[in-house]
Amino acid sequence: MNCRPPLGSNTPHIVGVIAGALILAGPLARAQSPGPSGVESSVQAEAHAPEQSGSSATKDSGFIPGVLIGPRLSVAVPTPTIGVEAKVLRYLGFAFDYGLSPKLDISGVSVSYEMWDVAVRVYPFGHTFFVGAVYGHYGVEAVGSTPQGSGSVRASSNFLGPQIGARWIQPSGFFFGIDLAWAFPLGYSSEASPDPSGTTVSVKQTADRYLQNGIPVAGLISVGWMF
């Protein structure tokens, strides 16, 4: 006795199984094979990866978006300075310096020096190298004593000059750098109170000869922190 159902009665079940398999296989195949959008996304991710790693090598923004600002200490000529500097939107910089040297005794002459300056800088490439201008004021005083008497020399001037330098800013905000400017005098003046030996007059003449041609203002090494 044959108990198998007729072929026609199983046909709907077979068709239903095949249709269900196709419905499930379609999404599974799309998930396993990367389409054009998946390839494009991976290519874009790889393209942006070097850029992101390169941008982490420096710091371009701090507490204020697009602005870095912080204190600085410089071993400089003619005197060490303390100051503050800022970098704005990567391409523009500002700085202020103040220097004061203690009185130094040189061959019986006490010499003191004081200066301040402000600087405006442009970073043409947005990173390390900058060019700019510096404006400021300096004053120097020398007081000498001899057995014949004492005298003093004072010289001062505002100044203006070009500046060039570099700043290496780390991702943490720590930075170091160098800079060099030449300070051309604006309104140079000097005076001397003569002493019997004529030393102060000689010092004034020497100061006038050199200072009227300008002085170097160089940050041999500057270190600081920008926030």
Q: What is the pLDDT of residue 139?
A: 95
* pLDDT score of 17 more than 70: no
Q: Which tens digits make up the pLDDT trace of 168-190?
A: 999 999 999 999 999 999 999 99
Q: Which of 144, 166, 142, 170 is nearest to 154 (CA)?
A: 142
Cα four-point dihedral sign 29, 31, 37, 43: negative
Look at residue 22 in the predicted model and tell me its pLDDT.
43
Residue whose tokens read 């600087």: 119
Query: How buried is residue 130: exposed, middle or buried, by Cβ count under 10 Å (0-12/13-18/19+)?
Result: buried
Residue written as tokens 């057995």? 147
Class of domain 67-225: mainly beta
Is the confidence at residue 54, as pLDDT, over 80? no
DSSP letters of 122-159? E-TTSSSEEEEEEEEEEEEEEEEEETTEEEEEEEEEEE
Domain definitions of the chain by residue range = 7-55, 67-225
Mean pLDDT score of the chain: 80
Q: Which DSSP state fits 78?
A: S
The count of C-alpha atoms lying within 13 angstroms of the C-alpha of 25, restricted to the half-sphere facing its C-beta, is 6
Nearest residue to 215 via CA among 73, 79, 83: 79
Q: How many residues are present in the chain? A: 227
User: What is the per-residue pLDDT for 67?
Assistant: 96
